[in-house]
Structure 1
Amino acid sequence: MSFYSNLPTSEVSSSLYPTIFEIVSSQEIDALLPASVRYILTNYWIARHPNKITLAINNYFQEWFQVLLKGIVEWHHIKEYNSTFVDRFYGLQRFNCSNEVLVRKQAKNNNTKVWPPGLQFTKGQKRVVFIQKVIVPYLKDRLDELESKWVAQSTFQEQRNDKRNLIRRFVTHVYPVFKKSWYLLDLFTKLLFLAGRIGSVSFLEYLFKIEYTRAVLPLSGGDARPKSVSQANRPQRQNLYALVSRFQRILANVGNTSAYLGSQFFPAFIFMLRVYQWWTTQDLGAKLQRKLNDIDKDIPRTNNKTDGKGKSTGTDCPICHQRIQNACVLETGYAACYPCALDHLTNNEGKCPVTGKKLLGCTYDKELQKWKVVTGVRKLLI
């Protein structure tokens, strides 16, 4: 994915629009966050304390996290910053591109600290972004689950002409076509973005005149809303009103502090998540490597003793009692013919023909109802 950052951009996009690398990175983090939270909850809380409450939290994770919690957070950021939670972390902001004159003016004066009111979202655009980030992913996951379930059932059940069957036909036949068509439209929109023609990366954003920019600017000229003339000339509040005003200022400071701590906690959480993922992968790889290194430890070597006539017994197969052909070695260290070893182990419950010990690399397949050799035999190249 790193090659995205080296793709050429137009003059307008170089000063106003971000690269596709930044947008794709934010989308990947947005998709990684719910899966990571669910993985941590499942492995470190629900699996260790299974009960009705924890199982309900796991079963309805998409409803309470991806719709309710994420919906509240995303709507707050869309309303206050014209940006989603993850996009704001990446320094990305969306804007209303219906006025091309203001767009070109903002591209030339991109160092301004005031967000132009004409480029802010309308109420309809805010709803579109909210639906795109919260509602559409939830509906897509649910429809994908129904599609996979009903496609599997339709292969074993007869079709009936009822209302429920019409819904099934829509999900199993119309929905896949619509999903592929929409994917092609999104892909075409991304190609136009790479060509520098538009600033939208999805077809839905293109329809509703929503584009990306790299800076996150305040929605007004200052941090606070402008005061009217009557408010500016109003005398200073006394007594109870002064306490209420001071309490409001304290709450505003607490909100700003909470927002700052949240902005610092999120990158730290993503970093720790990456470290944890690397640590578990390395630990698993080290364990597998240790098992592979110790698999031949304390295993007796092949018996190469000679009998009284000077004839070598180590070159004879202990199963067919003939000279070994297509040699292999068992877990117990004895050599045998490879076809003889497979036939003997599958017909004798995975037991060594010499020692009679059950080999760890032989397992019983309940579906096939027979013994199967997995890692109990190694072929030798002589």
Structure 2
Amino acid sequence: MEFMSDISSGADIYRPSLFELIAQEKLQALIQPAAKYILSVYAQRYPRYLLRIVNRFDECYAVAMLLIERYYLKNYYASFAESFYGLKRIRLIQTKIDLPEATPDITLQKLRNSDIWRSLFFLVGIPYIKTKLDDLYEKVSENARARLLGSAFSRVHIEKQLNYKERVRRFIRNLFKILYPWLNALYHGSKLLYNFLYLYNKTRCYTPWLKLMGIEIRRMSAQDYFERRLNSSRNNLPTKTLFQATYYFLNFWNGVDVPPPEIIAPDPRGIPLPESPNVCPICTNLLTNTTALPSGYVFCYPCIFSYIEDYGRCPITLIKVDIDELRKVYWNIITIYNFFPIYHQFVPLQIEI
């Protein structure tokens, strides 16, 4: 099955395989039921805000997809799903001479505004219309099955009581019920036919809608990726400027010469400070599992935990301290601040337990 691989043919590396096109089509088809399910779940929690949207989901979804698809078609020349798979839309240029592989973009032209609106009609309008027709056919079929439960006499008696307008409406419904399955089969059959023609390289469009619009789908080249990155950088320039301005403002705000708070002096009634800053004031041994208090002094964790649990205060300054205010400090931070002349004084760089 060599025709299924564009690698083996080597004719056009920018021609996507049918599997890529079907994959992006499936992705686009899965968005609507997924969004409807998520919205219905949240509507049960917030019915006051979301119930109206759920009741008019098809219209709301069509409007949302219209805005999204228009953005992608205008900026990336591809639908949302096509852009996800690295594909793009170009105008179908009929040429008798095959393009060489090295120059794949000679006759490629970007989409015009009219091409974008035609693409939006087939990307959003046709699926919306088909969804409504499917719902209508299901509703008509359900009504027809329900009428089968009645007797023949009651059906004839009811039909005699109908006026002219109601008879016309019933005739149109019955005609729609007969014709729609054939139209639906023609819809899917034409797509299947073009899929096979595209698979055998007999056409450049894998759906009849692309043929009607005069558009084909191609893989993105390196130049396309470069242009997309360049356009993205230009579009994000205001955001980057705002971010930089905010960053410099925060640097200026934090860099203002605000003096640090005054050091809390030890209370004469508290535990005296040891001579070495590496010694715990409570156990008078080297600090282990160093822990800081809001007062700025450090102790061994077991020592200070037991002390605060019993007294609820700092043993040096005697200010009130709770267990949840203990802060563990890494030893390398402590060794840096050992150069300060204040014993066990700690600045606000701590790691919570």
Q: Which residue, out of 29, 39, 45, partners 2:37? A: 39
| 1:222 to 1:69, Cα distance in 2 relative to 1, 3 A | closer
Q: 2:95 aligns with which of 96, 100, 108?
A: 100
Instruction: Give the percent of matched residue pairs that are identical in Structure 1 and Structure 2.
Output: 21
Cα offset, 1:135, TM superposition: 0.6
Counterpart CA distance in 1 for 2:220 and 2:57 is: 33
Q: CA–CA distance in 2 between the matches of 1:255 and 1:193?
A: 43
2:99 maps to amino acid:
K
Aligned pair partner of 2:72 in 74, 77, 80: 77
Q: SS at 2:217's partner residue?
A: strand
Amino acid at match of 2:103: N
- Output the CA distance in 2 between the equivalents of 1:61 and 1:37: 9
Equivalent position of 1:58 in the other structure: 54
The CA deviation at 1:254 is: 4.1
Match of 2:121 in 1: 131
Task: Answer yes or no: is 1:197 the counterpart of 2:191.
Answer: no
Counterpart in the other structure of 2:142: 152
**Segments ≥4 residues shifted beyond 6 Å:** 157-160, 219-225
TM-score normalised per structure 1: 0.51
Counterparts of 1:36 and 1:187, CA distance in 2: 25
- Using the TM superposition, give the Cα deviation of residue 122 of structure 1 relative to its aligned residue in structure 2, in angstroms: 3.8
Q: Look up the SS of the partner of 2:99 in the other structure.
A: helix
Sort the Cα spacing of 1:166 and 1:118 in 2 relative to 1 into closer, same or farther, 3 A: farther
Question: For the structure 1 residues 170 and 137, does the alpha-carbon distance in structure 2 shift closer, same or farther, using more than 3 Å as the test?
Answer: farther
Aligned mates of 1:31, 1:5 — CA distance in 2: 29
Q: Residue 98 of structure 1: SS of its match in structure 2? A: coil
Note if contact 1:143-1:171 (Cα within 8 Å) is conserved in structure 2. no
AA matched with 2:53: I
Q: 1:147 to 1:11 in 2, by over 3 A?
A: same
| Pair 1:7-2:4 in alignment | yes
Cα gap change, 1:255/1:72 in structure 2, threshold over 3 Å: closer, same or farther? farther
Counterpart code for 2:211: Y
Which amino acid is 1:94 matched to?
A: R
Alignment of 1:259-298 (within 5 A): none
User: How far is the alpha carbon of 1:134 from its aligned partner?
Assistant: 0.3
- The residue type equivalent to 1:187 in the other structure is L
Q: Supply the distance in 1 between the matched residues of 2:202 and 2:99 (Cα, whole angstroms).
A: 17
SS at match of 1:17: coil
Gaps of 5+ in 1: 226-248, 258-382
TM-score by length of 2: 0.54
Kindly state the Cα deviation for residue 88 of structure 1 after the two structures are TM-superposed.
0.6
Structure with greater Cα Rg? 2
Gaps of 5+ in 2: 148-154, 242-353
Q: In 1, Cα distance between the equivalents of 2:31 and 2:191?
A: 23
CA shift in 2, pair 1:37/1:123, >3 Å: same
Q: Which residue of 2 aligns with 1:181?
A: 186
Relative to structure 1, the CA distance from residue 23 to residue 221 in structure 2 (aligned partners, 3 Å threshold; closer, same or farther) is: closer
Change in CA separation of 1:73 and 1:175 when aligned onto 2, cut-off 3 Å = same
What count of residue pairs does the alignment treat as equivalent? 223
SS at match of 2:78: coil
| SS of corresponding position for 2:206 | coil
- Counterparts in 2 of 1:288-327, with a 5 A limit? none
2:289 corresponding residue in structure 1: none
Change (3 A) 1:50 1:220: closer
C-alpha distance after superposition, 1:271-318 (max 9, x if no partner): xxxxxxxxxxxxxxxxxxxxxxxxxxxxxxxxxxxxxxxxxxxxxxxx
Could you say which residue in structure 1 is the equivalent of 2:24?
26
Structure 2 CA distance for aligned equivalents of residues 91 and 11 of structure 1? 20
Deviation at 1:137, TM superposition (A): 0.7
What is the CA-CA distance between 1:83 and the residue it aligns to?
Answer: 0.7
Alpha-carbon shift at residue 15 of structure 1 (Å): 1.6
Q: Identify the residue that residue 143 of structure 1 maps to in structure 2.
A: 133
Distance 2:240 2:198 in 1: 35
CA distance in 1, matches of 2:66, 2:96: 33
What is the CA–CA distance in structure 1 between the aligned matches of 2:225 and 2:96, rounded to whole Å? 19
The one-letter amino acid paired with 1:149 is K
> Contact conserved, 1:91 with 1:215, CA < 8 A, in 2?
yes
User: How many angstroms apart in 1 are the aligned matches of 2:3 and 2:94?
Assistant: 29
* Cα root mean square deviation, aligned: 3.5
- Report the Cα offset of residue 41 of structure 1: 2.4
Report if aligned partners of 1:15, 1:108 keep a CA contact under 8 Å in 2: no
How far the C-alpha of 1:255 sits from its partner, in A, is 6.7
Report what 1:377 is aligned to.
Answer: none
Kindly provide the CA deviation profile for residues 145-180 of structure 1, in whole angstroms up to 9, marking residues without a partner as x.
110111221341666663433442343122221121
Q: Name the CA shift for 1:75/1:12 in 2 (closer, same or farther; >3 Å).
A: farther
